[in-house]
Chain A
């Protein structure tokens, strides 16, 4: 049906809705009778909204029960612009390859950074690495003797640290011997002798002002050894100080303990740690009052039995 087929009197053109009627329809107020049908329909639409609350499902149901976990980075509340993609573990390399790859990656990174440095920076890095290495070796006492002494002196003077020196190692040995000699049972000559051998003592100096021996040799009887010691002492520049006779010890063990103990009872560090060279026997006279600990440890012959050197003391 078109407007051309209508009789104007039978099918009047409906009037235009004014603003007031429209607002009355949308707000549910009373409308003119002409628009009652329309108002009824819109009322049915409004009534249709009186629906029960739909049951939430899935993620929404969990959300309404537990709330948002914002501090845990819940994906539900993560803005789309902040989503950067899957976690690294998802697309990462196999776990068994990771440690090696991490180490090689770190090494290559360091090398890349090092090669990118200037000449001065490279020199500085090399010096720093060298100093660190020497310091570490010095701290463990692994350097050669003079170098160890130099490093230890420098570090001990500048820092509160205490690096070991070559003398301190000898002092420790002397202290060990002195401690043993201070006991009631005297020095265990056999153990000290074997320890001295292990330390490589080939040339030793015997006690006090009298006797110097250059070759300890095998242990012999105390009497014959004393005579040999006297004759050898007379052949040295200190011959004027050699006693005429050597008293025969009644009990070598007790004499050893007495003499060694009295000699070694002094300050071990000062005696045996003074100069390593004092053990070499270059100047017997100067050694006579020197380092009992080191001397007793450096004289296997005198320590092993009745200690001819010790027994030769005036």
Chain B
């Protein structure tokens, strides 16, 4: 967060309902939240981001802590939304490819950027689908939200030792997948 040293006063103002402070918090963390939701493959990342921040601001009065804790708290709320959507997706039959809808909704300053972002997001999601959900949660939280092991453990409700084990196994799995992808491309060429 670029306003880390001023975070206490910003948080205090936000808890008092100041619009400028709420806007500052939103602009600081919304990119990480929407990226996390998008790479997790949620149906409508922007709409879900709105819901996440409404939940954040609804419970802002009960929050106490510094900037790292606040970041971990916001991503924990976002992660719970992901879990909810996973459960909903598991209960219903898919009628259209999720990637197509996501690709069309990807924001960007131009169509070309949208396409590149869409391709990049699709490639990342495709690779991340090769590892387990727990490993993916840890890796994305650490990379996208820039959380530490402890913050990730707090966001996921796990112990730091479990998070370390998950991130190691996840990275090793990704390394294998990447190696296989290279070998497949070499064979096809």
Q: Interface code B153-176, partner A: CB below 8 Å = 1, 0 otherwise?
A: 000000000001001100110111
Q: How large is the interface on B (under 10, 10 to 19, 20 to 34, 35 or more residues)?
A: 35 or more
Say which one of B50-58, B65-73, B76-84, B90-98 lies at the interface with A: B50-58
> A146 contacts the other chain (Cβ, under 8 Å)?
no
| Residues of chain A lying within 8 A (CB to CB) of residue B47 | 57
Q: Interface code B20-39, partner A: CB below 8 Å = 1, 0 otherwise?
A: 00110011001110110011
A48 CB to closest chain B CB (Å) equals 6
A residues adjacent to B (C-beta < 8 A): 14, 16-17, 19, 22, 25-26, 35, 37-38, 41-42, 44-46, 48-60, 63-70, 76-79
Q: Which residue of B lies closest to A62 (CB)?
A: B19
Q: Can you pick out 6 interface pairs between chain A and chain B where the beta carbons lie within 8 Å of each other?
A: A35-B175, A48-B144, A49-B32, A60-B57, A64-B22, A78-B58
| Residues of chain B lying within 8 A (CB to CB) of residue A25 | 171
Given contacts A17-B168, A51-B107, whether A45 and B17 have CB atoms under 8 Å apart is no
| Residues of chain A lying within 8 A (CB to CB) of residue B175 | 14, 17, 35, 37-38
Interface contact A53-B182, CB-CB below 8 Å: no
Given contacts A51-B31, A53-B27, whether A38 and B18 have CB atoms under 8 Å apart is no
Q: Which residue of B lies closest to A75 (CB)?
A: B58
Interface contact B168-A68, CB-CB below 8 Å: no
Q: Majority SS of interface residues in chain A? A: helix
Interface contact B35-A48, CB-CB below 8 Å: yes
| Residues of chain B lying within 8 A (CB to CB) of residue A67 | 17-19, 22
* A141 and B72 alpha carbons, distance in the complex (Å): 81
Given contacts A45-B144, A50-B31, A58-B50, whether A37 and B107 have CB atoms under 8 Å apart is no
B56 CB to closest chain A CB (Å) equals 10
| Residues of chain B lying within 8 A (CB to CB) of residue A17 | 168, 171-172, 175
Query: Given B45, B143, B172, B178, which contacts A46 in the complex, CB threshold below 8 Å?
Result: B143
> B10 contacts the other chain (Cβ, under 8 Å)?
no
Q: Interface code B124-164, partner A: CB below 8 Å = 1, 0 otherwise?
A: 10010000000000011011100000000000000000001
* A266 and B139 alpha carbons, distance in the complex (Å): 113
| Residues of chain B lying within 8 A (CB to CB) of residue A52 | 31, 107-109
| Residues of chain B lying within 8 A (CB to CB) of residue A66 | 19
Query: Given B26, B35, B121, which contacts A64 in the complex, CB threshold below 8 Å?
Result: B26
Given contacts A14-B179, A26-B143, A49-B31, 7 further A-B contacts (CB under 8 A): A22-B171, A41-B127, A46-B143, A60-B26, A60-B53, A64-B19, A68-B57
B27 CB to closest chain A CB (Å) equals 5
* A314 and B125 alpha carbons, distance in the complex (Å): 133
Greatest chain A CB density within 10 A among B27, B34, B58, B164 is at B58
Interface contact B54-A37, CB-CB below 8 Å: no
> Ordered nearest first, which 4 A-B pairs have the shortest CB separation?
A68-B17, A67-B19, A49-B35, A67-B17
Q: Which residue of B lies closest to A35 (CB)?
A: B175
* A54 and B39 alpha carbons, distance in the complex (Å): 15
Query: Given B17, B46, B124, which contacts A54 in the complex, CB threshold below 8 Å?
Result: B46
Given contacts A57-B46, A63-B22, whether A70 and B179 have CB atoms under 8 Å apart is no
| Residues of chain B lying within 8 A (CB to CB) of residue A37 | 175, 178-179, 182
Given contacts A51-B31, A58-B50, whether A45 and B140 have CB atoms under 8 Å apart is yes
Greatest chain B CB density within 10 A among A26, A51, A57 is at A51
Interface contact B30-A63, CB-CB below 8 Å: no
* A166 and B144 alpha carbons, distance in the complex (Å): 98
